[in-house]
């Protein structure tokens, strides 16, 4: 029987791509999501997962649930986790736990906790709790994955990122400018200490990131205790380099204007991903061109994301 994996937030951008990779690797994902940032489909299945089922020809177990709903969560834990003795966890952490980088590229030994935003702090706190848990109870194993900046979409163009409202992140915004949904990109500052003055990040193809979770699940089988890995490519690109890469992929001009810096942003952030290669046998395979081509295919095929109305 296929091994079950519980995926929280599995209807979202990273979640849906990970569910697809899990299915293709022979796992049986059980997904919960509260639709905070996901679109409902016609039936009981989120639209993203309906498409994942269509793409893979396999079925996904889904339950609508808010992870803050204590009673429901307790029920789920009793039903699935404690009852089945689950003590293996993959946690979606973030490069923001490093705060303002003291050196680059960032390796896993870089100090954490000096976070520049509350989101990063919450990831840091949860990392610490999981570390303590694994320390106190040796039966637990956890892999903490520190994501850098996931972009792109599945090569089919059927699933991708569909932020609700005005996109906060660079590439969803850029692709909405390319498709004509927004007028121009606001570049948040061009006076950083980087080559062209704009912020530099480690963009990683979301399919590579999703595959990192499969590698993490394999690691858990080794009774690995608590392990931490960066998931990035090791290469940083500036905002303007990303704009040019998307212009090339889409064949569209992407107008932009430079505005003030955004609070909480750091100048540059990119990974040393060598530990994941050494210990997980995982490395990012898809480069910048593929990330932008796949993002553009998704955007073009789904001009208004998963919703049907324009
Ligand atoms: N940027 C713009 N204009 C925009 C949006 C972003 O110029 O409209 C710039 C930012 O200033 C930054 C770069 O583009 O230099 C990337 O910004 P994103 O918002 O796309 O990504 P961040 O690196 O700020 O944050 C992302 C995720 C976080 C995650 C972090 C991990 O949003 O959730 O990567 O490092 F924690």
List pLDDT tens digits, range 262-310.
998 999 999 999 999 999 999 999 999 999 999 999 999 999 999 864 4
Phi-psi domain of 260 (left: phi exceeds 0; alpha: psi -120 through 50; beta: other): beta
pLDDT, position 308: 65
Of 119, 147, 256, 270, catalytic: 119
pLDDT, position 30: 92
User: Atom 11 of ligand 1 has which residue's CA nearest to it?
Assistant: 188
User: Atom 26 of ligand 1 has which residue's CA nearest to it?
Assistant: 149
User: Atom 4 of ligand 1 has which residue's CA nearest to it?
Assistant: 170
Distance 170 CA to ligand 1 centre (A): 6
Distance 75 CA to ligand 1 centre (A): 36
User: Is the C-alpha dihedral spanning 90, 299, 66, 93 positive or negative?
Assistant: positive
Distance 85 CA to ligand 1 centre (A): 38
Q: Which of 49-58, 81-90, 126-135 has the lowest mean pLDDT?
A: 81-90
Burial per residue of 106-128, b for 16 or more beta-carbon CB atoms within 10 angstroms, e otherwise: bebebebeebeeeebbebbeebe
* Average pLDDT of the segment spanning 199-209: 98
Distance 169 CA to ligand 1 centre (A): 5
pLDDT above 70 covers what percent of the chain?
97
pLDDT, position 44: 87
Query: Which residues on neighbouring strands pair with residue 268, listed in sequence order?
Result: 200
Does 170 contact ligand 1 (Cβ within 6 A)? Answer: yes
Whether residue 248 has pLDDT greater than 60: yes
- Confidence class for position 76, pLDDT limits 50, 70, 90: confident
Query: Between 105 and 68, whose confidence is greater?
Result: 105
Distance 95 CA to ligand 1 centre (A): 11
* Average pLDDT of the segment spanning 36-56: 92
pLDDT, position 43: 85
pLDDT, position 75: 83
Alpha-carbon span 102 to 276, nearest angstrom: 21
- Confidence class for position 116, pLDDT limits 50, 70, 90: confident
Average pLDDT of every residue of the chain:
94
DSSP assignment of 240-291, as one string?
A: HHHHHHHHHHH-----EEEEPPPTT--SEE-B--HHHHHHH-------HHHH
Does 168 contact ligand 1 (Cβ within 6 A)? Answer: yes
Whether residue 139 has pLDDT greater than 70: yes
Does 96 contact ligand 1 (Cβ within 6 A)? Answer: yes
The ligand 1 atom nearest the CA atom of 188? 7
Burial per residue of 279-292, b for 16 or more beta-carbon CB atoms within 10 angstroms, e otherwise: ebebbbebebebbb
Distance 14 CA to ligand 1 centre (A): 16
State which of 104, 110, 114, 169 you would mutate to test the pocket of ligand 1, scoring each by most atoms of that ligand within 8 A of its C-beta.
169
pLDDT, position 83: 56
Supply the pTM of this predicted model.
0.95
pLDDT, position 159: 98
User: Atom 7 of ligand 1 has which residue's CA nearest to it?
Assistant: 187
pLDDT, position 310: 42
Residue 13 falls in the annotated catalytic set = no
- Confidence class for position 202, pLDDT limits 50, 70, 90: very high
Does 145 contact ligand 1 (Cβ within 6 A)? Answer: no
Does 199 contact ligand 1 (Cβ within 6 A)? Answer: yes
Residue keyed to tokens 């040393």: 272
Distance 1 CA to ligand 1 centre (A): 41
Does 201 contact ligand 1 (Cβ within 6 A)? Answer: yes
The ligand 1 atom nearest the CA atom of 173? 8
């Amino acid at each position: 029987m296929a091994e079950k994996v519980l995926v929280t937030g599995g209807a979202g951008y990273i979640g849906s791509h990970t569910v697809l990779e899990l299915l293709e690797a022979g796992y049986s994902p059980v997904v919960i999501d509260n639709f905070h940032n996901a679109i409902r489909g016609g039936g009981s299945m989120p639209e993203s997962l309906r498409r994942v089922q269509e793409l893979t020809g396999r079925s996904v177990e889904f339950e609508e649930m808010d992870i803050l709903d204590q009673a429901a969560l307790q029920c789920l834990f009793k039903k699935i986790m404690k009852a089945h003795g689950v003590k293996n966890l993959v946690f979606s952490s973030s490069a923001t736990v490093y705060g303002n980088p003291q050196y680059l590229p960032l390796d896993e030994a870089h100090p954490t906790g000096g976070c520049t935003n509350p989101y990063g702090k919450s990831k840091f706190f949860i990392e610490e709790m999981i570390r303590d848990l694994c320390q106190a109870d040796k039966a637990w194993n956890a892999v903490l994955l520190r994501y850098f900046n996931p972009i792109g979409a599945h090569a089919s163009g059927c699933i991708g990122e569909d932020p609700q409202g005005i996109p906060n992140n660079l590439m969803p915004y850029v692709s909405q400018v390319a498709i004509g949904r927004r007028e121009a990109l606001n570049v948040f500052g061009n006076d950083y200490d980087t080559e062209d003055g704009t912020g530099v990040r480690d963009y990683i193809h979301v399919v590579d990131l999703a595959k990192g979770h499969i590698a993490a699940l394999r690691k858990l089988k080794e009774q690995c205790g608590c392990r931490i890995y960066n998931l990035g490519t090791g290469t940083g690109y500036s905002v303007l380099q990303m704009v040019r890469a998307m212009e090339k992929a889409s064949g569209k001009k992407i107008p932009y204007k430079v505005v003030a810096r955004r609070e909480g942003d750091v100048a540059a952030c990119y990974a040393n991903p060598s530990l994941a290669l050494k210990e997980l046998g995982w490395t990012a395979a898809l480069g910048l061109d593929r990330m932008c081509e796949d993002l553009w295919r998704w955007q073009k095929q789904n001009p208004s994301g998963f919703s049907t109305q324009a």
